[in-house]
Structure formats: C-alpha cells, structure tokens
C-alpha cells in the first residue's frame, strides 16, 4: 500500500434476492451470497445497502470501518429495527441527491444521503401491511429472527427462503383489527393450519387462557418494566403493558371485560441502577469499535432518544440476572 488513503467514497452494495439478503442480515452464517458490489469497498468507505424489493429499499444506514461487510451488515441490522425505507424515500429526504456508487464522501451529495440514511425511522406495524415484497421484507427485518406469535427464535440460517412463514395481511384486515403481519415459526404455522385459523390474532388468543369472568378468548399478556419506544409502537393486540410494577402483578388482562388475573411470573422490571448508563456506554463503545475516546464521546452524545433507549435497555438486559440475554417481546 502506497501512502495513506485520503479518497473515501460512498459505496452502494446490492442485496439480492431480497429474502436471502435479509436472512443474511439477521443470520450472517446463512449459506447465501446475497451481497453484490462488496469487492469495491475499502476501509474508510461508507456503505449503503440497497435491497431489491419492489420498490427497492435501504437496509440499514451505513457501515464504516474494517469489519468484513457480511458481519458489519449483520451488526448494524441488530442495532434497532429500522423502517426499511425505500430508496425513493431516502432520496426525497436527502434533497435533490440521487444514490449512486462511488460518490466522494466529502461531497455534499454523499453527506446528505448519509444524513438521510442514518436518521433512522422506526418500523411501525402499518408499514408492514399489504402483499408487496417491501411489506414482507419489513416483517422479516422487524422480527429480528423471532416468531411474531410465540417469540421463539427461528433458525433462519437453516431455513429455505421460500418456506419462511411470512404472514401477509391486507390493509383493511389490519385497519379493522382482524389480523396482524408476522413472521411465524414452523410450530405456529402448523398450529394455524391445523386449527384452521386465518388470522394470527385469533391464533395468538387461542393459545392463551380464557377469561375467568366472562370466558372470552381475548386474554392479553401483560409485560412489566421499562419498555422501549419500539416495543410500544409494535406491541400486537394480544399484549399490553403493566407499567413498572414489581411482584404480585396480574399476568393476564381480558380485552373483552377488562378484568385482570393471575400472578405475574415474569416481572422483568429493570433495576434503575446508575451503573446501567455506564454499561450502556461500554456496550455502545464495543459495538462501534471506535477506540478514540473523544470520537466515542461525540458519537454517544449524538445518539437520538430511540437509540439511547436501545443501549440502556440492552444494558438492563445484560445486567439482569433473571434474563438469559434475551428479553422476549422487545422488538
């Protein structure tokens, strides 16, 4: 290598086909080769990942640094669940700038595109409705690789892309509260088929106890503790939150008559420990790979509220002895 590289560029990686791309983003050991254009990426380049949904979408902001691209994409897609905005939405947000490969990083166009791409949009249930590949891709990404119904981890790396249980929901069924878009595990797919359930909502309720007061099959599970804005934005109808109450709290709430019952078996309120902030900062530091303390402090300071909450929640999770590293229902 001669001299120091000063000419950093914005590179565009393509992810196709879209299902393989998102599987690899969530499970980097999956045996697919969905990333195209990776060869041109050099350390110091920023990368935008375009997925070939119809219309094309942008996977996850930008990657910078020397991680292998495959790992780096997986790392970033774990960091919150973005709304998987379309390329057209990105270009609108970036002003007149169009996405193209090889833009110099110090150009106004590259800055505008990166700023628009990293102004992360939260995934919302109504963005995952309809039968387009964009809706399906958003369901897959937002799932984080867990079943939207029972929250079991799905072996994405070992799943055939065509057989993923992507349950798509038409707009009117969603608006009327009849169905819910979700990625389903094999057990839940079989359960729906066997019980002849057309709706994930009806199936999820069928797995819950009937109300002891009115016998309705509309029991919502209650989750306690500090929950992220993502949790609130994405909680399905069969879940609700119970605030930060510890112990002796109800486990179920009937959506028909409103009665509460059952001892809570999974109080997951996080101790409000001042050390948690420090743990969060350390986790964030390790994730970025940045060693310069001033740069790291600046990056930490610039986190938006949603991202800060993400790291605080992770810190709470990792220091909570009742947890095994996963908090079901977080995303």
- Binding residues for Zn ion, rule: CB under 5 A, are 147, 149-150, 185, 188, 211, 213-214, 216, 254, 256-257
Contact 285, 277 (CB under 8 A): no
Token output for 320? 């909570």
- 254 or 312: whose CB is closer to Zn ion? 254
To the nearest whole angstrom, how small is the minimum distance from the Cβ of residue 213 to Zn ion?
5
- 69 or 222: whose CB is closer to Zn ion? 222
Nearest to 189 by CA among 153, 150, 158: 150
- 102 or 209: whose CB is closer to Zn ion? 209
To the nearest whole angstrom, how small is the minimum distance from the Cβ of residue 280 to Zn ion?
30
Q: Please give the DSSP secondary-structure letter assigned to residue 179.
A: -
Beta pairing, strands 250-254 & 9-15: unpaired
- 150 or 303: whose CB is closer to Zn ion? 150
What b-and-e string marks burial along 29-64, b requiring 16 or more CB atoms within 10 Å of the CB?
ebeeebbebeeebeeebbbbbbbbbeebbbbbbbbb
To the nearest whole angstrom, how small is the minimum distance from the Cβ of residue 185 to Zn ion?
3
- 31 or 263: whose CB is closer to Zn ion? 263
Nearest to 101 by CA among 44, 43, 60, 40: 40
- C-alpha–C-alpha distance, residues 118 and 152, integer Å: 30
Bridge partners (DSSP) of residue 253 are: 220, 260
To the nearest whole angstrom, how small is the minimum distance from the Cβ of residue 90 to Zn ion?
33
To the nearest whole angstrom, how small is the minimum distance from the Cβ of residue 49 to Zn ion?
28
């Amino acid at each position: 290598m001669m001299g120091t590289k000063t000419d950093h560029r914005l590179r565009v990686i393509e992810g196709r086909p879209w299902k393989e791309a998102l599987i690899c983003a969530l499970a980097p050991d999956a045996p697919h080769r969905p990333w195209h254009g990776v060869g041109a990426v050099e350390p110091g380049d920023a990368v935008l990942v375009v997925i070939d949904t119809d219309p094309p979408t942008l996977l996850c902001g930008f990657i910078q640094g020397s991680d292998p691209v495959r790992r780096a994409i997986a790392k970033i897609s774990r960091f919150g669940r973005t709304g998987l905005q379309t390329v057209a939405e990105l270009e609108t947000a970036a002003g007149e700038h169009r996405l193209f490969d090889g833009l110099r990083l110090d150009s106004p166009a590259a800055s505008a595109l990166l700023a628009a791409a990293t102004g992360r949009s939260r995934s919302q249930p109504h963005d995952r409705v309809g039968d387009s590949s964009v809706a399906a891709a958003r369901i897959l990404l937002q799932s984080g690789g867990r079943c939207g119904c029972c929250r079991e981890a799905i072996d994405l790396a070992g799943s055939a892309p065509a057989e993923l249980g992507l349950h798509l929901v038409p707009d009117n069924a969603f608006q009327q509260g009849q169905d819910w878009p979700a990625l389903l595990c094999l057990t839940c797919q079989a359960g729906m088929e066997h019980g002849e359930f057309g709706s994930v909502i009806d199936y999820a309720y069928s797995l819950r106890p009937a109300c002891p007061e009115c016998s309705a099959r509309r029991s919502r599970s209650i989750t306690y503790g500090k929950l992220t804005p993502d949790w609130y934005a994405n909680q399905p109808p069969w879940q609700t939150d119970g605030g930060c109450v510890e112990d002796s709290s109800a486990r179920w709430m009937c959506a028909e008559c409103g009665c509460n019952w059952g001892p809570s078996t999974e109080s997951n309120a996080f101790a409000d420990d001042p050390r948690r902030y420090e743990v969060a900062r350390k986790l964030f530091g390790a994730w970025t790979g940045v060693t310069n303390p001033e740069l790291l402090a600046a990056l930490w300071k610039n986190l938006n509220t949603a991202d800060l909450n993400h790291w605080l929640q992770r810190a709470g999770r990792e220091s909570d002895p009742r947890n095994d590293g996963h908090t079901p229902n977080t995303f």
